[in-house]
Structure 1
Amino acid sequence: MSTQGIAHSRWFGAALALVGSGGVAAAWVAVSMVTASQCGWMAVVAALDAAFLLRLARAPRGLARMAIGVGATILAVALAQWGIVSAHLSGMLGLGFADTMGKLGPSLAWTLTTLANSPADWAWIGAGLVVAAFASR
């Protein structure tokens, strides 16, 4: 594979993993709303999804692929937590889900996320980052 092909697949892998983060975050929000819990275990699903998408895109092995996998997992966690908070607030505020996501500030989102997640949820999120590092390398 030429140098240009390697760079292309790295960028394609990164783009695919980042788009996948949005998809797995949406699934996480849906599962969270159905089960009425934070579902921290979905961080491991997000990590495995990112690793799978990077391998599917044939991103070259190494530190860059691992960093992209961990970054995609962090993005999925952040989007999911933002979405879960927005979903809970949207009914109380009388706004739609998308409107609430746009109006929600980072300080309130962080405060409500820290209050809602149990120590087990935080452990699952940490485990998801570790899984992302190992599965994406």
Structure 2
Amino acid sequence: MATALLLLGSFGIAAAWILLADARGTQTSWMAVIAAFDAAWLLRLARARPGVLRALAGTVATVLAIVIANFGIVASQLARPMGMLPWESLLKLGPHHAYTLATLANSTVDLAWLGAALVIAAVASR
């Protein structure tokens, strides 16, 4: 049950992150911290046993949210100039191209937010 809840939560927070980034026109990498706290809260809600395994699950859920959100942000940013809808762009975007564009879009400050989110996820989830 905890795994299904974490998957659903990762996709949900990533969707909110994509919408916020699209509305603001920035990466909004601080949302990774919100994703970390969301993962920790969902693990507690699912009554997962405390410990290293729960901390690892929270961190993996946060990484998943980060990857999904960055992929979606890149897809939505590519969709406009190409005259496509974001989900059309999402289906055509390859992982290597998405990785390259996400690397170019994320600044040092963005990477610091993402790194902080992973630490927060590990600590808050244990």
Sort the TM-score into its range (normalised by shorter chain): over 0.9
Aligned-pair RMSD on alpha carbons?
0.8
Alignment correspondent of 1:61: 50
Cα shift readout 1:30-79 (whole Å, capped 9, x = no counterpart): 11111111011111000000000000010111111111100000000000
Alignment correspondent of 2:22: 33
In structure 1, the residue corresponding to 2:50 is in which secondary structure? Answer: coil
**Deviation at residue 131 of structure 1 after TM alignment:** 0.3
**Deviation at residue 13 of structure 1 after TM alignment:** 1.3
Alignment correspondent of 1:4: none
Alignment correspondent of 1:22: 11
2:87 to 98, 116, 120: 98
**Deviation at residue 94 of structure 1 after TM alignment:** 2.0
Structure 1 residue ranges (4+ consecutive) displaced by more than 3 angstroms after TM superposition? none
Q: In the aligned structure 1, how far is the partner of 2:100 from the partner of 2:2?
A: 33
Q: In the aligned structure 2, how far is the partner of 1:68 from the partner of 1:93?
A: 37
| Gap runs ≥5 in structure 1 | 1-11
What is the aligned length? 126
Q: In the aligned structure 2, how far is the partner of 1:50 from the partner of 1:58?
A: 12
Q: In the aligned structure 1, how far is the partner of 2:84 from the partner of 2:26?
A: 22
Is 1:108–2:97 an aligned residue pair? yes
**Deviation at residue 109 of structure 1 after TM alignment:** 0.4
Query: Counterpart of 2:117 in structure 1: which amino acid?
Result: G
Is 1:132–2:121 an aligned residue pair? yes
**Deviation at residue 113 of structure 1 after TM alignment:** 0.4
Query: Counterpart of 1:92 in structure 2: which amino acid?
Result: P
Q: In the aligned structure 1, how far is the partner of 2:36 from the partner of 2:59?
A: 7
TM-score norm. by structure 1 comes to 0.89
**Deviation at residue 122 of structure 1 after TM alignment:** 0.3
Q: In the aligned structure 2, how far is the partner of 1:116 from the partner of 1:23?
A: 22
1:82 to 65, 71, 78: 71
